[in-house]
Each structure stands twice: as structure tokens, then as C-alpha cells.
Amino acid sequence: MSQTRWVKQMQHTLVRWRKQALKVIEQVTLFLSVVALLLMLYNIGFSYTPETESAIHKANSFLLITFFVVLGIRFLALFNHRNITRKRRLEIVLLLFFFLALCLRFFMRNTPYGDVSWISFFDRRAFTHLVFIYIFLVQLSRVDFRIYRLTFNPALLFIYSFLFLIFAGAGLLLLPRATHQEISILDAFFTATSAVCVTGLTVVDTATAFTPFGKKIIILLIQLGGLGIMTFTSFVALVFQRNSTFKNQLFLQSMVNEEHLGQTFRTIIKIVGVTLLIEAIGALFIYLSIDKQLYNGNPVEQWGFAVFHAISAFCNAGFSTLTDGLYDSRIRYNYNLQLTLAWLIIFGGLGFPIMFNIYKYLKQEISKLFYAVFRPHAYKHQPRLLSVNSKIVLITTAILLVLGTVLFGVLEYRHALQEHSWYGKLVTSFFGSVTPRTAGFNTVSMTALTTPTVLIYLLLMWIGASPASTGGGIKTTTIALAFLNIISIGKARDRLEVMHREIPNESVKRAFGVIFLSFMIIGLNVFLVTVFDARHDLKAVVFEVFSAFATVGLSLGLTPQLNDGSKIIIMLTMFLGRVGIITFVLSFINRDKAMHYSYPSENIIIS
């Protein structure tokens, strides 16, 4: 009996030691991963002498050996853990073999065995960065899940995540190898803010100011800003951790607008997967539509152009690697390219919940058609899947696209469209209707637009895209609810009903709150820009502020001429437009508890 008790005590002691060892290993790995990431940034961001390169190589060698030993100990400690499945153990073993093979490539570079095909397949520098990024992502996934355990306002954490991404992006853009010539700190922050907030306003020429490395940083910031850094880190956590807690799911449920708690993490995976799929298809179509002579037949640069613009279009960013953007004379008349970008912008502006809802609806309709043709007696009726929210978004989007295309074509027929054929006029008008709604690309000269067209652009920019999308603006549902509520008031109804559904009063109040706050923010920022920079035309200032607030990126040529004070105002406007006014307000206001009482009512004279 005493021997059994002694065995149990030893088992408990071993379990305690293993937990402590894993905790220490995790802390050491986190510290080393940060050091490795900083070393990698120095390696790719700075120029250095051969002596420095040799020192970096030695540091990389030390880190690789340390990582291999630490991760090996951790895997051995977890290998016999009862919660580790057989499939997970196999993955651990395969990962160790892969890691060992890559280490052989790194350390056998200058040996007689360094040219073995299966080893020399990996570039040493690329391999080092690959390993460091992998380890950093693993540690990031663990830190990500710890954040959700904290008592934290989700809206405030959402704002902080964008601030962190802006500061990190600005720091990367200040690296010597990111630019051809040194840019100011404020210009780096402006560019990073514009990229993270998927706006597209620039104070320096993206095509000439930034190196290929700098452009990769910009497109990475656009991708993370479009998806949302919290969505990305949650996806990374799912990939590497493969587990979650109930609190994690509660934290993320509102962020991804998922109604069912159990589907939260699946929705995050679908968001990332759909984004990458649509961008890949768009990049393929862009690659096939551009002339090979644009980059002298260089497929690498041509693919770089395609991928950059596919991501920029789907994320509604408006950044381009050409100095004149899509108004460049070499692609100005490439209507297939314009149509591809326009549809990428539209899909990105619809919002992920709408796309998923449309997918379910189409799947149901196809099944209904299949059963009606081949198995008419086996079909079972399903409830309607296309929600009122989706219908409002689709109808509002269609109305804005049609009206915008017609008005642009009529107003610019003898002006900006004069140089195009009839087909070119139609495509350019359609593109001109799509791009103001948070995209930011232009295929016509913005300074040549007539005043009525500029006013139409202001309206389209202000409305923007749809909720839970990569676009900005007050959103299509907001303007639709406001318009429908006005009609409901005119009919003397005491509630808002749309498509045989009652809209909650909270949604209506939220819509009018967004409209009021948007005008307040825009008006205040127009006033501040005119105070800091009174020499500019008011029409250009108003257009610039509307474009920044709606995260559009279109400009009448004012952005590069702004002084430092005006740049800061525009940066703040872009940030508020991206995180959302209501989100920003809710992050600093504590919500009241449910009020189980009511005061006597009294009318207020409105008109």
C-alpha cells in the first residue's frame, strides 16, 4: 500500500515538473522568437558589411540550434501526454524530421554534401526566415489565446490591434531597404495608416518611393488591415493551437458577426479561406488580362503586379504600383482589367456574412432544382435562407451601382469619357461607379471631373460598402434603414417593417447615430484642415476628408501638398473611418445595465 502511494506521489511530482518545464520552455521560446524576428528584420531591412553578415550567420546558427533543442524537449515532454492524439504525435515527428532536414541545408552549405538535390532545394536565407516566422507564429498563437482570457473591452482591443499594426508597419517602412530614398517618420506613419485602414491616400509615390521589399510590406499591411489583425491572429491560433475555450469563442463572436457561438472559429477559417481564394482567382484574371510588354515579358514582375492589385482591390485599398495608378496610359484602355478589379471591389465590399448567406441560398436553390428534375418526390422544403440583411445589402448595392453608372456616363460623356469608345465609356462609367465606394482606383483624371460628378462621388464615398466588409463609409444598410424609416414615419407607422420582418428599434437608432456622428467628424476635420492649411481650395479639402473618412483613397491631387498638421488630421480621419465611429465610441463608454423601469413620456417638438 505504501509502495502504491509512493508511486502516485512520484507520478504527481513528474507531472508538476513537466508543467513547470513546459512553462519555462514556452517563456524561453517566446523570448528567442522575438529575438529571431528582430534579427530577421535587421537581415532584410538593413545593408551591412561582410563582417556583419558573418556575425548574423553565427547568430542564426545559434538560434537554430537552440530552437531545435528547445522544441525537441517540448515535443518529447508532450509526446506521451494523454491529451495528444496519435495523429498529433505523427505530425510532431514529421515536423521534427522536416526541421532536421532544413537544418542540414543550413549547416551543410559549404560542405561536400551541400549540393545534394533534396537539401539544396532550400535557400539558406529563405529557410532561416521561414523557420523564424513559423516559430514566431506558434508563439503568437499562444499569446493570442491568452489575450482572450483577460477582462478587456473587445471594442478597445479591436482599436488597439489596428494601432499596433500601424506602428509596426511604420517601423518596417522606415527600414533603409524599404525605400529608395529616406522618407520622413510622418510620411511612413501616413502610408502605414493608409495601408492598414485600406484607404489608398498617399503622400509619396508608391511606385518610385518604395523598393520591392517596401511594396511587400504595404501589401501585407493591406491584407492584415482588410481582414483585421484580430481575425488573422485568431486564424493563426486555430492553425497552431487547434483548441479553444468557451470564453475565446464569446470574445470573437461579435467580431465576426456570427449568430451561432459554435460556428465562430469555423467562420474565421472561412473568412480567411474565401479571401485568399477570391484574391487568387482575381490575380489569375489580372495576369491574363495585362499585356506582357508592360514588364518586358518578366513573369515574376507581372505576377507581382497581379497579386498586388488583386489584394488591393478585394481589400478596397486603392494602392497601385504604377505612378498614375490605373490612369497609366499603358492600362488606361484595358477594360478587361478594369472589370476584374471592379468585381473584386464589389465582392470585397459586400461583406463576408452576405457572401456566406448568398452561398447557402444558391446551394439551396440548386438542390431544389436538382430534386425537382430528378427526384420530385424526395425534396423537402427548407426555410428561406436569404436574410433581410442580405436582401437590403444586395438591393442597395445594385441601386447605387446602376445610378452611379448612369450618372457618371451622362455627366462625363463629353468630358472624362470623351477619349473612350462606346464600350470603353460603358466600362469606365461602371468602374467609376464602383471605385468611389471605398476602392480608390481611378481610370480617369480626377482633376478633370465636373462638379456634379464630384458631388456624386461625395455621396457614394459617404455611403461606402456594406457591414463586415473590407470597405468603409457609413455602410449600405445604414442609409437603407434611414431611408426606409423616413418612409415609415411618413406613413405614420409606430415601427419599421421591411419584407415582412420588424426591424429592432436599436438598429434604427444606431443607423441615425452613425449618420449624425459621420457628419460631425467630417465637418470637424474639414474645419481643422482649413485651419492648418488655409491655402487649399475648399472643394479639394472636402473631397479629401470624405475620401479619408470613407477609406476610399481618391484625391483631387491634394494629399501630397498637405502640411504636417493636415496629414495628422487625415490620418485620424482614416483611422476613425476604418474602426467605425460606433466602435470607437463604445470602446470608451461603459454600457448601462438593463433598465427595468420607465419614466412618464413627454413629447418633444421637432418641426
Parent domain of 123: 20-149
Range 34-59 average pLDDT: 76
Place of cell 499591411: 221
The pLDDT, as a whole number, for residue 536 is 86
pLDDT of 590 > 50? The answer is yes
In a domain, 363, yes or no: no
In a domain, 69, yes or no: yes
In a domain, 3, yes or no: no
The pLDDT, as a whole number, for residue 66 is 76
Q: pTM of whole model > 0.85?
A: no
What confidence tier does 187 reach under pLDDT thresholds 50, 70, 90? very high
What confidence tier does 76 reach under pLDDT thresholds 50, 70, 90? low
Range 83-90 average pLDDT: 53
Residues 97-124: pLDDT tens digits? 656 655 555 555 544 444 444 334 345 5
Place of cell 459617404: 462
Task: Please say whether the beta carbons of 391 and 481 come within 8 A.
Answer: no
Task: Please say whether the beta carbons of 471 and 461 come within 8 A.
Answer: no
pLDDT of 82 > 70? The answer is no
Identify the weakest region by mean pLDDT among 47-56, 184-193, 194-203, 449-458.
Answer: 47-56
What confidence tier does 38 reach under pLDDT thresholds 50, 70, 90? confident
The pLDDT, as a whole number, for residue 111 is 46
Residues 6 or more apart from 121 whose CB is under 8 A from it? 105
Higher pLDDT, 79 or 114: 79
What confidence tier does 553 reach under pLDDT thresholds 50, 70, 90? confident
What confidence tier does 177 reach under pLDDT thresholds 50, 70, 90? confident
Range 135-140 average pLDDT: 67
The pLDDT, as a whole number, for residue 379 is 57
The pLDDT, as a whole number, for residue 122 is 45
- The fraction of the chain above a pLDDT of 90, given in percent, is 28
- CA pseudo-torsion sign 162, 31, 136, 63: positive
Output the DSSP codes for 368-409.
HHHHHHH-TTT-------S-HHHHHHHHHHHHHHHHHHHHHH
In a domain, 44, yes or no: yes
The pLDDT, as a whole number, for residue 115 is 44
What confidence tier does 459 reach under pLDDT thresholds 50, 70, 90? very high
Task: Please say whether the beta carbons of 461 and 345 come within 8 A.
Answer: no
388 closest CA partner among 241, 497, 263: 497
Return mean pLDDT, the chain: 79
- The fraction of the chain above a pLDDT of 70, given in percent, is 74
The pLDDT, as a whole number, for residue 428 is 94
The pLDDT, as a whole number, for residue 121 is 39
Identify the weakest region by mean pLDDT among 32-41, 358-367, 580-589.
Answer: 580-589
Q: What angle do CA 495, 496, 500 make, to 5 degrees?
A: 115
Range 352-356 average pLDDT: 85
pLDDT of 392 > 90? The answer is yes
What confidence tier does 238 reach under pLDDT thresholds 50, 70, 90? low
Task: Please say whether the beta carbons of 549 and 570 come within 8 A.
Answer: no
The pLDDT, as a whole number, for residue 587 is 67
451 closest CA partner among 513, 407, 492: 407
Range 326-352 average pLDDT: 90
pLDDT of 272 > 50? The answer is yes
Identify the weakest region by mean pLDDT among 134-138, 261-265, 409-413.
Answer: 261-265
Q: What angle do CA 219, 223, 228 make, to 5 degrees?
A: 145
The pLDDT, as a whole number, for residue 435 is 92
Q: How far is the C-alpha of 359 from the C-alpha of 168, rounded, in Å?
A: 36
Residues 6 or more apart from 141 whose CB is under 8 A from it? 233, 236, 237, 238, 239, 240, 241
What confidence tier does 602 reach under pLDDT thresholds 50, 70, 90? confident
Range 297-307 average pLDDT: 87
In a domain, 36, yes or no: yes
Task: Please say whether the beta carbons of 428 and 444 come within 8 A.
Answer: yes
pLDDT of 332 > 70? The answer is yes
In a domain, 118, yes or no: yes
pLDDT of 591 > 70? The answer is no
Identify the weakest region by mean pLDDT among 71-85, 214-228, 532-546.
Answer: 71-85
In a domain, 327, yes or no: no
Dihedral-angle region of residue 499 (phi above 0 means left; psi in -120 to 50 means alpha; beta otherwise): left
Q: How far is the C-alpha of 434 from the C-alpha of 208, rounded, in Å?
A: 27
Residues 6 or more apart from 512 whose CB is under 8 A from it? 482, 485
The structural domain count of the chain equals 1
The pLDDT, as a whole number, for residue 113 is 41
Q: How far is the C-alpha of 574 from the C-alpha of 521, rounded, in Å?
A: 11
In a domain, 171, yes or no: no
